[in-house]
Amino acid sequence: MGFFKKLSTIAHARKELAKLGIDPFNVEIEEILSPATARIAGREVLLAGTNNYLGLTFDPRCIEAACKATRTEGTGTTGSRMANGTFAGHRALEQELAAFYGCSTAIVFSTGFVANLGMISTLTVPGDTILIDGDSHASIYDGCRMSGANIIRFRHNNAADLDKRLCRLGDQSKKALVIIEGIYSMLGDRAPLADIVALKKKYGFWLMVDEAHSLGVLGQKGRGLVEEVDCLDDVDFIVGTFSKSLGAIGGFCVSNHPELDLVRYASRSYVFTASPSPATIASVRQALQLLASGDELRERLWRNAHHLYDGLVHLGFRLGPDPTPVVAVYMGSKEETLLCWKQLFEQGVYVNLVLPPAAPDGTSLLRCSVSAAHTVEQIETILSKFSSLKKP
Protein backbone atom coordinates (compact mmCIF):
# COMPACT_ATOMS: atom_id res chain seq x y z
CA MET A 1 0.00 0.00 0.00
CA GLY A 2 3.03 2.30 0.21
CA PHE A 3 2.17 5.72 1.59
CA PHE A 4 -1.44 4.67 2.20
CA LYS A 5 -0.47 2.03 4.76
CA LYS A 6 -0.56 4.63 7.51
CA LEU A 7 -4.23 5.21 6.66
CA SER A 8 -5.23 1.59 7.25
CA THR A 9 -6.75 2.38 10.66
CA ILE A 10 -9.00 4.98 9.05
CA ALA A 11 -9.93 2.54 6.29
CA HIS A 12 -10.97 -0.03 8.89
CA ALA A 13 -13.06 2.52 10.79
CA ARG A 14 -14.86 3.54 7.59
CA LYS A 15 -15.71 -0.08 6.86
CA GLU A 16 -17.20 -0.46 10.33
CA LEU A 17 -19.33 2.65 9.77
CA ALA A 18 -20.49 1.26 6.43
CA LYS A 19 -21.71 -1.90 8.17
CA LEU A 20 -23.90 0.27 10.39
CA GLY A 21 -25.16 2.22 7.39
CA ILE A 22 -23.72 5.45 8.84
CA ASP A 23 -21.45 8.07 7.29
CA PRO A 24 -21.65 10.98 9.74
CA PHE A 25 -18.47 12.69 8.53
CA ASN A 26 -19.57 13.14 4.92
CA VAL A 27 -23.05 14.57 5.27
CA GLU A 28 -23.89 16.44 2.08
CA ILE A 29 -26.15 19.46 2.49
CA GLU A 30 -28.10 19.65 -0.75
CA GLU A 31 -29.82 22.95 -0.08
CA ILE A 32 -29.64 25.51 2.73
CA LEU A 33 -33.20 26.57 3.57
CA SER A 34 -32.46 28.93 6.47
CA PRO A 35 -29.80 29.45 9.17
CA ALA A 36 -31.40 26.57 11.09
CA THR A 37 -32.69 24.18 8.39
CA ALA A 38 -31.40 22.41 5.30
CA ARG A 39 -32.34 19.75 2.79
CA ILE A 40 -30.28 16.60 3.27
CA ALA A 41 -30.92 13.31 1.46
CA GLY A 42 -34.06 14.81 -0.03
CA ARG A 43 -35.74 15.88 3.21
CA GLU A 44 -35.79 18.88 5.50
CA VAL A 45 -33.48 18.60 8.52
CA LEU A 46 -33.19 20.82 11.59
CA LEU A 47 -29.58 21.95 11.98
CA ALA A 48 -28.29 21.78 15.56
CA GLY A 49 -24.56 21.58 14.90
CA THR A 50 -23.47 24.52 12.76
CA ASN A 51 -21.74 27.03 15.12
CA ASN A 52 -23.89 29.73 13.47
CA TYR A 53 -24.38 31.26 16.91
CA LEU A 54 -25.98 34.56 15.91
CA GLY A 55 -27.67 33.20 12.78
CA LEU A 56 -26.14 35.90 10.58
CA THR A 57 -25.51 33.74 7.50
CA PHE A 58 -28.86 34.82 6.04
CA ASP A 59 -28.93 38.37 7.36
CA PRO A 60 -29.98 40.50 4.35
CA ARG A 61 -27.52 43.26 5.25
CA CYS A 62 -24.57 40.86 5.28
CA ILE A 63 -25.73 39.28 2.01
CA GLU A 64 -26.13 42.65 0.30
CA ALA A 65 -22.69 43.77 1.50
CA ALA A 66 -21.15 40.60 0.05
CA CYS A 67 -23.00 41.00 -3.26
CA LYS A 68 -22.00 44.64 -3.61
CA ALA A 69 -18.34 43.83 -2.93
CA THR A 70 -18.41 41.04 -5.51
CA ARG A 71 -19.93 43.30 -8.14
CA THR A 72 -17.38 46.08 -7.56
CA GLU A 73 -14.21 44.14 -6.60
CA GLY A 74 -14.64 40.71 -8.16
CA THR A 75 -14.87 37.19 -6.80
CA GLY A 76 -11.38 36.92 -5.33
CA THR A 77 -8.09 38.68 -4.71
CA THR A 78 -5.94 36.01 -6.45
CA GLY A 79 -3.02 36.90 -4.23
CA SER A 80 -1.64 36.89 -0.73
CA ARG A 81 -1.75 39.87 1.61
CA MET A 82 1.96 40.49 0.92
CA ALA A 83 1.46 40.54 -2.83
CA ASN A 84 -1.68 41.94 -4.46
CA GLY A 85 -4.14 40.60 -1.90
CA THR A 86 -4.54 43.58 0.43
CA PHE A 87 -7.59 45.58 -0.62
CA ALA A 88 -8.95 48.63 1.17
CA GLY A 89 -11.56 46.39 2.81
CA HIS A 90 -8.91 44.21 4.46
CA ARG A 91 -7.28 47.24 6.07
CA ALA A 92 -10.66 48.67 7.08
CA LEU A 93 -11.67 45.40 8.76
CA GLU A 94 -8.39 45.31 10.68
CA GLN A 95 -8.98 48.84 11.93
CA GLU A 96 -12.55 47.97 12.91
CA LEU A 97 -11.49 44.83 14.76
CA ALA A 98 -8.83 46.75 16.67
CA ALA A 99 -11.40 49.42 17.61
CA PHE A 100 -13.95 46.75 18.60
CA TYR A 101 -11.49 45.30 21.13
CA GLY A 102 -9.96 48.65 22.09
CA CYS A 103 -6.57 47.44 20.85
CA SER A 104 -3.96 49.23 18.80
CA THR A 105 -3.28 46.60 16.14
CA ALA A 106 -5.07 43.80 14.28
CA ILE A 107 -4.17 41.29 11.56
CA VAL A 108 -6.71 39.46 9.39
CA PHE A 109 -5.85 35.93 8.22
CA SER A 110 -7.57 33.73 5.65
CA THR A 111 -9.02 31.30 8.22
CA GLY A 112 -9.17 30.91 11.98
CA PHE A 113 -7.01 27.79 11.74
CA VAL A 114 -4.39 29.75 9.80
CA ALA A 115 -4.54 32.57 12.37
CA ASN A 116 -3.44 30.18 15.12
CA LEU A 117 -0.82 28.54 12.91
CA GLY A 118 0.60 31.89 11.88
CA MET A 119 0.64 33.55 15.28
CA ILE A 120 2.00 30.65 17.33
CA SER A 121 4.64 29.49 14.84
CA THR A 122 5.86 33.06 14.28
CA LEU A 123 5.97 34.25 17.88
CA THR A 124 7.83 31.19 19.19
CA VAL A 125 10.91 29.31 17.98
CA PRO A 126 12.92 26.25 19.10
CA GLY A 127 14.07 26.81 22.67
CA ASP A 128 10.93 28.72 23.67
CA THR A 129 8.26 27.18 25.90
CA ILE A 130 4.52 27.06 25.25
CA LEU A 131 2.01 25.88 27.85
CA ILE A 132 -1.34 24.82 26.45
CA ASP A 133 -4.57 23.44 27.86
CA GLY A 134 -4.79 19.69 27.25
CA ASP A 135 -8.08 20.13 25.37
CA SER A 136 -6.74 22.76 22.99
CA HIS A 137 -7.97 22.91 19.40
CA ALA A 138 -6.01 21.11 16.69
CA SER A 139 -4.88 24.44 15.20
CA ILE A 140 -3.18 25.32 18.49
CA TYR A 141 -1.41 21.97 18.64
CA ASP A 142 -0.30 22.29 15.01
CA GLY A 143 0.94 25.84 15.52
CA CYS A 144 2.99 24.68 18.49
CA ARG A 145 4.51 21.81 16.50
CA MET A 146 5.38 24.13 13.61
CA SER A 147 7.17 26.49 15.98
CA GLY A 148 9.55 23.82 17.26
CA ALA A 149 9.12 25.20 20.79
CA ASN A 150 8.92 23.02 23.88
CA ILE A 151 5.26 22.15 24.49
CA ILE A 152 3.91 21.59 28.00
CA ARG A 153 0.28 20.54 28.44
CA PHE A 154 -1.59 21.33 31.64
CA ARG A 155 -4.83 19.70 32.76
CA HIS A 156 -7.95 21.05 31.16
CA ASN A 157 -9.16 24.24 32.88
CA ASN A 158 -6.91 23.52 35.86
CA ALA A 159 -5.13 26.71 36.95
CA ALA A 160 -3.52 24.89 39.88
CA ASP A 161 -1.87 22.41 37.51
CA LEU A 162 -0.67 25.30 35.34
CA ASP A 163 0.76 26.94 38.48
CA LYS A 164 2.80 23.81 39.27
CA ARG A 165 4.23 23.60 35.77
CA LEU A 166 5.12 27.28 35.70
CA CYS A 167 6.82 26.95 39.07
CA ARG A 168 9.05 24.18 37.69
CA LEU A 169 10.17 26.46 34.85
CA GLY A 170 11.68 28.97 37.26
CA ASP A 171 12.87 32.13 35.50
CA GLN A 172 11.99 30.56 32.14
CA SER A 173 8.31 31.18 32.91
CA LYS A 174 8.80 34.89 32.11
CA LYS A 175 9.51 33.98 28.48
CA ALA A 176 6.77 31.34 28.21
CA LEU A 177 3.58 31.63 26.16
CA VAL A 178 0.36 30.31 27.72
CA ILE A 179 -2.55 29.58 25.36
CA ILE A 180 -6.16 29.02 26.40
CA GLU A 181 -9.59 29.24 24.76
CA GLY A 182 -12.57 31.35 25.77
CA ILE A 183 -15.13 28.57 25.23
CA TYR A 184 -13.87 25.09 24.44
CA SER A 185 -15.51 23.65 21.34
CA MET A 186 -16.13 20.13 22.61
CA LEU A 187 -17.72 20.61 26.06
CA GLY A 188 -18.68 24.28 25.85
CA ASP A 189 -16.92 25.17 29.10
CA ARG A 190 -15.10 28.44 29.79
CA ALA A 191 -11.43 28.78 30.69
CA PRO A 192 -10.68 30.02 34.25
CA LEU A 193 -9.29 33.21 32.77
CA ALA A 194 -9.31 35.30 35.96
CA ASP A 195 -7.25 32.63 37.76
CA ILE A 196 -4.83 32.40 34.83
CA VAL A 197 -4.43 36.19 34.71
CA ALA A 198 -3.55 36.05 38.42
CA LEU A 199 -0.81 33.55 37.53
CA LYS A 200 0.36 35.84 34.74
CA LYS A 201 0.87 38.62 37.27
CA LYS A 202 2.76 36.17 39.49
CA TYR A 203 5.07 34.67 36.85
CA GLY A 204 5.13 37.25 34.04
CA PHE A 205 4.39 34.93 31.11
CA TRP A 206 2.76 35.95 27.81
CA LEU A 207 -0.93 35.08 27.36
CA MET A 208 -2.91 34.25 24.21
CA VAL A 209 -6.68 33.64 24.28
CA ASP A 210 -8.51 31.99 21.39
CA GLU A 211 -12.03 33.47 21.37
CA ALA A 212 -13.26 31.45 18.36
CA HIS A 213 -16.38 30.15 20.10
CA SER A 214 -16.86 33.06 22.51
CA LEU A 215 -16.73 36.04 20.12
CA GLY A 216 -20.29 37.33 19.86
CA VAL A 217 -21.35 35.02 22.68
CA LEU A 218 -19.76 36.29 25.91
CA GLY A 219 -19.36 39.80 27.28
CA GLN A 220 -21.60 42.85 27.26
CA LYS A 221 -20.50 43.80 23.76
CA GLY A 222 -19.80 40.26 22.60
CA ARG A 223 -16.02 40.55 22.78
CA GLY A 224 -15.67 37.17 24.44
CA LEU A 225 -14.38 35.80 27.72
CA VAL A 226 -11.78 38.57 28.02
CA GLU A 227 -14.66 41.05 28.30
CA GLU A 228 -16.88 38.88 30.49
CA VAL A 229 -14.24 38.65 33.22
CA ASP A 230 -12.81 42.15 32.56
CA CYS A 231 -9.33 40.92 31.65
CA LEU A 232 -8.92 42.43 28.19
CA ASP A 233 -5.96 44.58 29.21
CA ASP A 234 -4.20 41.59 30.77
CA VAL A 235 -4.14 39.48 27.60
CA ASP A 236 -1.29 39.90 25.11
CA PHE A 237 -2.93 38.34 22.05
CA ILE A 238 -6.57 37.62 21.21
CA VAL A 239 -7.17 35.36 18.23
CA GLY A 240 -10.47 34.35 16.72
CA THR A 241 -12.42 33.36 13.66
CA PHE A 242 -15.13 34.77 11.42
CA SER A 243 -16.65 31.33 10.83
CA LYS A 244 -18.80 31.16 13.97
CA SER A 245 -20.75 34.20 15.19
CA LEU A 246 -19.80 36.35 12.19
CA GLY A 247 -21.13 33.79 9.72
CA ALA A 248 -18.30 33.79 7.16
CA ILE A 249 -14.71 32.50 7.04
CA GLY A 250 -11.41 34.00 8.11
CA GLY A 251 -9.37 34.66 11.23
CA PHE A 252 -7.72 37.47 13.14
CA CYS A 253 -5.42 38.52 15.94
CA VAL A 254 -5.64 41.74 17.94
CA SER A 255 -3.09 43.09 20.40
CA ASN A 256 -1.78 46.22 22.08
CA HIS A 257 1.78 45.20 21.26
CA PRO A 258 2.85 47.33 18.26
CA GLU A 259 5.20 44.52 17.23
CA LEU A 260 2.17 42.50 16.13
CA ASP A 261 2.40 44.26 12.78
CA LEU A 262 5.80 42.63 12.21
CA VAL A 263 4.11 39.21 12.18
CA ARG A 264 2.90 40.07 8.67
CA TYR A 265 6.45 39.84 7.39
CA ALA A 266 7.37 36.59 9.13
CA SER A 267 4.22 34.42 9.19
CA ARG A 268 4.32 31.89 6.36
CA SER A 269 0.58 31.30 6.62
CA TYR A 270 0.05 35.04 6.03
CA VAL A 271 2.71 35.62 3.39
CA PHE A 272 1.90 32.58 1.25
CA THR A 273 -1.91 32.22 1.54
CA ALA A 274 -4.38 34.00 -0.73
CA SER A 275 -6.29 36.67 1.15
CA PRO A 276 -10.05 36.48 1.89
CA SER A 277 -12.37 37.43 -0.96
CA PRO A 278 -13.96 40.90 -1.09
CA ALA A 279 -17.37 39.33 -0.43
CA THR A 280 -16.12 37.65 2.73
CA ILE A 281 -14.50 40.82 4.05
CA ALA A 282 -17.59 42.91 3.31
CA SER A 283 -20.00 40.49 5.01
CA VAL A 284 -17.73 40.22 8.07
CA ARG A 285 -17.51 44.00 8.37
CA GLN A 286 -21.31 44.22 8.30
CA ALA A 287 -21.69 41.35 10.80
CA LEU A 288 -19.19 42.99 13.15
CA GLN A 289 -21.26 46.19 13.03
CA LEU A 290 -24.40 44.23 13.90
CA LEU A 291 -22.60 42.48 16.75
CA ALA A 292 -21.30 45.74 18.16
CA SER A 293 -24.54 47.69 17.80
CA GLY A 294 -26.75 45.68 20.14
CA ASP A 295 -27.29 42.56 22.19
CA GLU A 296 -30.71 41.39 20.98
CA LEU A 297 -29.27 38.44 19.05
CA ARG A 298 -27.03 37.49 21.97
CA GLU A 299 -29.99 37.54 24.39
CA ARG A 300 -31.99 35.30 22.05
CA LEU A 301 -29.00 32.96 21.72
CA TRP A 302 -28.67 32.61 25.48
CA ARG A 303 -32.41 31.98 25.95
CA ASN A 304 -32.15 29.15 23.44
CA ALA A 305 -28.96 27.79 25.02
CA HIS A 306 -30.50 27.64 28.50
CA HIS A 307 -33.71 26.16 27.06
CA LEU A 308 -31.85 23.27 25.41
CA TYR A 309 -29.36 22.72 28.25
CA ASP A 310 -32.00 22.73 30.99
CA GLY A 311 -34.31 20.54 28.92
CA LEU A 312 -31.64 17.90 28.34
CA VAL A 313 -30.72 17.92 32.04
CA HIS A 314 -34.42 17.39 32.84
CA LEU A 315 -34.44 14.41 30.46
CA GLY A 316 -31.59 12.86 32.46
CA PHE A 317 -28.66 13.40 30.14
CA ARG A 318 -25.17 14.20 31.42
CA LEU A 319 -23.91 17.40 29.82
CA GLY A 320 -20.85 19.62 29.76
CA PRO A 321 -20.29 21.65 32.94
CA ASP A 322 -21.63 25.03 31.75
CA PRO A 323 -24.74 26.09 29.85
CA THR A 324 -23.34 27.78 26.74
CA PRO A 325 -24.30 27.68 23.06
CA VAL A 326 -22.14 24.53 22.82
CA VAL A 327 -24.23 21.80 24.47
CA ALA A 328 -22.28 18.54 24.71
CA VAL A 329 -24.21 15.37 25.57
CA TYR A 330 -22.17 12.50 27.02
CA MET A 331 -23.14 9.18 25.51
CA GLY A 332 -22.17 5.55 26.04
CA SER A 333 -19.90 3.45 23.84
CA LYS A 334 -18.79 4.54 20.41
CA GLU A 335 -21.25 2.13 18.81
CA GLU A 336 -24.17 3.37 20.93
CA THR A 337 -23.29 6.97 20.13
CA LEU A 338 -23.16 6.26 16.41
CA LEU A 339 -26.58 4.62 16.50
CA CYS A 340 -28.04 7.51 18.51
CA TRP A 341 -26.62 10.00 16.01
CA LYS A 342 -28.23 7.99 13.21
CA GLN A 343 -31.55 7.88 15.04
CA LEU A 344 -31.58 11.66 15.52
CA PHE A 345 -30.62 12.21 11.89
CA GLU A 346 -33.36 9.90 10.64
CA GLN A 347 -35.82 11.87 12.78
CA GLY A 348 -34.74 15.10 11.11
CA VAL A 349 -32.22 16.56 13.58
CA TYR A 350 -28.55 17.00 12.68
CA VAL A 351 -26.01 17.25 15.52
CA ASN A 352 -22.24 16.80 15.59
CA LEU A 353 -20.78 13.40 16.36
CA VAL A 354 -17.58 13.51 18.41
CA LEU A 355 -15.63 10.30 18.99
CA PRO A 356 -12.20 9.54 20.52
CA PRO A 357 -9.58 10.91 20.16
CA ALA A 358 -11.38 14.18 19.35
CA ALA A 359 -13.63 13.87 22.42
CA PRO A 360 -12.03 14.58 25.82
CA ASP A 361 -10.97 11.71 28.08
CA GLY A 362 -11.88 8.99 25.60
CA THR A 363 -15.59 9.79 25.79
CA SER A 364 -18.14 9.90 22.99
CA LEU A 365 -20.36 12.94 22.56
CA LEU A 366 -23.34 14.22 20.66
CA ARG A 367 -22.51 17.90 20.33
CA CYS A 368 -25.24 20.45 19.76
CA SER A 369 -24.65 24.08 18.92
CA VAL A 370 -27.44 26.55 19.51
CA SER A 371 -28.24 29.55 17.33
CA ALA A 372 -30.14 32.77 17.86
CA ALA A 373 -31.96 31.73 14.66
CA HIS A 374 -33.53 28.70 16.37
CA THR A 375 -37.16 29.18 17.32
CA VAL A 376 -38.64 27.99 20.60
CA GLU A 377 -40.50 25.31 18.65
CA GLN A 378 -37.27 24.08 17.06
CA ILE A 379 -35.56 23.77 20.45
CA GLU A 380 -38.57 21.78 21.65
CA THR A 381 -38.24 19.54 18.59
CA ILE A 382 -34.59 18.82 19.41
CA LEU A 383 -35.55 17.94 22.99
CA SER A 384 -38.37 15.71 21.77
CA LYS A 385 -36.03 13.73 19.53
CA PHE A 386 -33.44 13.36 22.31
CA SER A 387 -36.15 12.09 24.66
CA SER A 388 -36.53 9.02 22.43
CA LEU A 389 -32.87 8.06 22.82
CA LYS A 390 -31.56 5.55 25.31
CA LYS A 391 -29.85 7.53 28.10
CA PRO A 392 -26.48 5.95 29.04
pLDDT tens sequence across 219-261: 999 999 999 999 999 999 999 999 999 999 999 999 999 999 9
Average pLDDT over residues 347-353: 96
Write down the pLDDT at residue 167.
Answer: 97
Told to judge if 213 belongs to the known catalytic residues of this protein, a careful annotator would answer: yes
Strand order in the sheet with 365-369: 326-330, 365-369, 352-354
Catalytic residue among 213, 307, 374, 385: 213
Q: What totals of helices (H) and strands (E) does the chain contain, helices first?
A: 13, 14
Write down the pLDDT at residue 15.
Answer: 84
Distance CA 42, CA 178 (A): 47
Categorize the per-residue pLDDT at 26 as very low, low, confident or very high, splitting at 50, 70 and 90.
confident
Write down the pLDDT at residue 390.
Answer: 65
Domain residues of the chain, as ranges? 17-47+295-387, 60-293
| Mean pLDDT score of the chain | 95
Catalytic residue among 90, 156, 244, 374: 244
Average pLDDT over residues 274-281: 98
Categorize the per-residue pLDDT at 334 as very low, low, confident or very high, splitting at 50, 70 and 90.
confident
Categorize the per-residue pLDDT at 68 as very low, low, confident or very high, splitting at 50, 70 and 90.
very high
Does pLDDT of 7 surpass 70? yes
Write down the pLDDT at residue 391.
Answer: 55
Determine if the peptide bond prior to 357 is cis (ω within 30°).
yes
Told to judge if 244 belongs to the known catalytic residues of this protein, a careful annotator would answer: yes
Least confident of 36-40, 211-215, 358-362, 373-377: 358-362
**Nearest alpha carbon to residue 382 among 300, 308, 306:** 308
Categorize the per-residue pLDDT at 359 as very low, low, confident or very high, splitting at 50, 70 and 90.
confident
Write down the pLDDT at residue 165.
Answer: 98
Does pLDDT of 392 surpass 60? no
Categorize the per-residue pLDDT at 24 as very low, low, confident or very high, splitting at 50, 70 and 90.
confident
Percentage of residues of the chain with pLDDT beyond 90? 87
Categorize the per-residue pLDDT at 176 as very low, low, confident or very high, splitting at 50, 70 and 90.
very high
Percentage of residues of the chain with pLDDT beyond 70? 99
Q: Which CATH architecture has domain 17-47+295-387?
A: Alpha-Beta Complex (3.90)
Catalytic residue among 110, 121, 136, 185: 185
Q: Environment class of residue 381 by beta-carbon count within 10 Å: exposed (0-12), middle (13-18) or buried (19+)?
A: middle
Average pLDDT over residues 1-19: 82
Does pLDDT of 376 surpass 70? yes
Write down the pLDDT at residue 48.
Answer: 97
Return the SS3 of 112: helix
Q: Name the CATH topology of 60-293.
A: Aspartate Aminotransferase; domain 2 (3.40.640)
Cβ(344)–Cβ(351) below 8 Å: yes
Cβ(210)–Cβ(181) below 8 Å: yes
Distance CA 23, CA 55 (A): 26
254 vs 359, residue with greater confidence: 254
Does pLDDT of 277 surpass 70? yes
Average pLDDT over residues 255-274: 96
Average pLDDT over residues 12-34: 86
Does pLDDT of 1 surpass 70? no
Average pLDDT over residues 195-221: 97
**Nearest alpha carbon to residue 126 among 154, 140, 146:** 146
Told to judge if 385 belongs to the known catalytic residues of this protein, a careful annotator would answer: no
Does pLDDT of 203 surpass 70? yes
Q: 0.85 exceeded by the pTM? A: yes
Write down the pLDDT at residue 221.
Answer: 94
